[in-house]
Amino acid sequence: MTTVYKRRAAPAVAPPGRRSPASAVLALLWAGAAAVVALWWTGTGSVVGAAGWLSGAGRIAGLLCGYACAVLVGLMARVPLLERRVGSDRVARWHAMAGRYTVSLLLAHVVLILLGYAAQDGVSFARETVTVVLDYPDMLKAAFATAVLVAVGITSARAVRRRTSHEFWYYVHLLTYCAVFLAFFHQVTLGNDFSGRPVATAAWYALYLGVACLALWFRVLAPVRLNLRHRLRVESVHPEAPGVYSVVIRGRRLDEVGARAGQFFRWRFMAPGMGWTSTPYSLSAPPRRDLMRITVKALGDHSAAISRLRPGTRVWAEGPYGALTEDRRTSSKSLLIAAGVGITPLRALFETLPGEVTLLYRARTAEDLALGGELEAIARWRGTRVLYALNGADGRRPGFTARSLRAAVPDLGGHDVYICGPHGFARDLYESLRTAGVPDRRIHHESFEL
């Protein structure tokens, strides 16, 4: 580990720290699921025979599936409270888990209901399926919605997603909105739990209309307003390290966007072959009144094309997102640990975080230290220090063990630790930090690898 020591700044008073509303949001979501179960329970009379049990189980699975569909849309509506206070990556993990629950409940609903109806009518499962789909109101719409949701579930499986492009996965996911819309009608038309119960029906409509309004406002109208108001364009592109480029983006009154160091936007560059892809990149410098900057490593076709952007290229941005900000701080001391291009949000935080700040940056070689000159300048200006961890002469990566971290940063347990890097790096580093005595509440990480 190569170390560059600088004079340390006087520690600031520890901030009170803002509590994440994650627990309250989860409690609200589970309370909604409990209310759905209560709706089914109060609307279910005596159950008789196998057909009754199968149909009853299919009904509760269907109700919970309908509720989960609304939750899916709400979680990915990019509501600022969730994106900036809970964290985009945590919300995305909740969305992925809810997606698995939704597909499982959907399949259970379809199979159990059809088995129950077939047992009641005394016909085969296949014949009952044809009858229900072709003769029951709104069931053709529901059948199409089922096929779409199953397709979304399949393309979200890790093994499948590795073999498909991000664009294909993204546009298949957009069909979820269509599927949820189509499935809604058969819920209120055929749902026994809503028949003759105007309050329950009104609450169901309010749930779906509410999440539809959230998605429309934060995913469509808010980005349109941002881009019409601020008129973003590429100002310049600069190489920072082998395969790493910074893009400076100019706009009007960007201080009104509310972006902060550590956050990211989803960027769409209106250049040939790039306009169909929206990609998350973090700000690599604190935003200014008229400029923002991102730094990108060429890891695929889209990111490699960043280096060929021309000044004046129009930019479409959505955000800001992310909770890897100063608000996470609970101590007057902070340790920032970056690997590779993970330096981008931490470089912005290195400049702006108050108190005593140390930066630990891992890269393969000195030539791969993107933004290294800026980091040195910030360290001199702030009177703090930068630590570098480079590969050895044999190419071996230095390990971040609990012992090496404590040796590099005395009083490690009293620091807030911000991490940005590949998923495997962050996972292993988290375990080392916990072993070194850093409380879980002081380890802050956000990842796009979901």
**Tell me: the pLDDT tens digits for 197-217?**
889 899 999 999 999 999 999
**Element of type H or E holding 156:** helix 139-156
**Token pair for 226:** 């941002």
**Tell me: the pLDDT tens digits for 76-112?**
899 998 888 888 888 888 988 999 999 999 999 999 9
What pLDDT is stored for residue 449 in this prediction?
57
What pLDDT is stored for residue 15 in this prediction?
54
Residue 416: left (phi > 0), alpha (psi -120 to 50), or beta? beta
As a 3-state breakdown, the chain gives helix, strand, coil percent values, each rounded to 5, of: 55, 15, 30
Q: What confidence category does residue 448 fall into, taking pLDDT thresholds of 50, 70 and 90?
A: low
**Tell me: the pLDDT tens digits for 282-334?**
999 999 999 999 999 988 777 888 999 999 999 999 999 988 999 889 889 99
- The residue among 325 and 450 whose pLDDT is bigger is 325
Q: Are 105 and 67 in contact (CB under 8 A)?
A: no
Backbone angles phi, psi at 156, to 5 degrees: -85, -15
- pLDDT over 70, % of the chain: 95
Q: What confidence category does residue 9 fall into, taking pLDDT thresholds of 50, 70 and 90?
A: very low
What pLDDT is stored for residue 152 in this prediction?
87
Least confident span in 58-62, 188-192, 370-374: 188-192
Q: What confidence category does residue 1 fall into, taking pLDDT thresholds of 50, 70 and 90?
A: very low
Instruction: Read off the DSSP letter of residue 414.
Output: G
The answer to whether residue 165 scores a pLDDT higher than 60 is: yes
The answer to whether residue 3 scores a pLDDT higher than 50 is: no
Is this model's pTM higher than 0.75 or not?
Answer: yes
**Token pair for 201:** 């029906």
Residue 377 CA from chain centroid, whole number = 33
The answer to whether residue 2 scores a pLDDT higher than 50 is: no
Exposed/middle/buried for residue 246 (C-beta within 10 Å: 0-12, 13-18, 19+): buried
Backbone angles phi, psi at 320, to 5 degrees: -80, 150
The answer to whether residue 10 scores a pLDDT higher than 50 is: no
Least confident span in 181-190, 248-257, 321-330: 181-190
Angle formed by the axes of helices 88-121 and 49-75, nearest 10°: 160
The answer to whether residue 148 scores a pLDDT higher than 70 is: yes
Q: What confidence category does residue 249 fall into, taking pLDDT thresholds of 50, 70 and 90?
A: very high
Closest CA to 62 of 100, 13, 98, 113: 113
Backbone angles phi, psi at 15, to 5 degrees: -75, 160
